[in-house]
């Protein structure tokens, strides 16, 4: 009987349980002697949680997620730029060996072609290395900002 009373009180309220079991004492009510039933819990008169005024308290998880995603994305792009720089170094090394062979063979037209391509490869290597360094710096800044945001 006690399980039935508790079931009715939990799901339908004290008043319905009292209809089926008229001998229930108010002490059995989980909400006390005030005779509140479940209608009180779902009514519109229940006080809502007041919104806090601070912007940070509302959006801190979104900001943290954005910071860590930006750090991860920046790291990924920096790694990609590092791979591109190493590929360009390999191309530049090939152009350099072609330059040395044309110096030995003294072919001026091929030498100028290889020198121009070598210069372009060196410029590409520098460009990829600069972008790599910038993205690593960005990843560090975003990562530190994300870690600092965990403190607040």
Token couple for 129: 């290395």
pTM above 0.85, yes or no: no
Q: Where are the domains of the chain?
A: 2-42, 55-149
Q: pLDDT per residue over 30-82, tens digit each?
A: 555 455 555 545 555 555 665 666 787 888 999 999 999 999 999 999 999 99
Rounded Cα distance, 71 and 142, in Å: 5
Burial class (CB in 10 A: 0-12, 13-18, 19+), 63: middle
């Amino acid at each position: 009987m006690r399980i039935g009373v508790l079931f009715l009180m939990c799901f339908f309220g004290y008043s319905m349980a009292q209809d089926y079991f008229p001998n229930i004492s108010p002490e059995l009510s989980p909400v006390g002697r005030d005779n509140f039933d479940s209608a009180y819990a779902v009514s519109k008169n229940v006080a809502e949680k007041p919104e806090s005024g601070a912007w940070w308290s509302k959006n801190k998880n979104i900001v943290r997620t954005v910071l860590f995603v930006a750090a991860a994305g920046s790291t990924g792009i920096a790694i990609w730029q590092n791979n591109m720089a190493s590929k360009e170094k390999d191309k530049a090394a090939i152009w350099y060996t072609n330059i040395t062979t044309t110096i030995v063979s003294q072919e001026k037209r091929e030498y100028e072609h290889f020198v121009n391509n070598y210069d372009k490869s060196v410029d590409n290597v520098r460009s990829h290395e600069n972008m790599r360094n910038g993205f690593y710096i960005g990843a560090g800044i975003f990562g530190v900002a994300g870690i600092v945001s965990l403190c607040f």
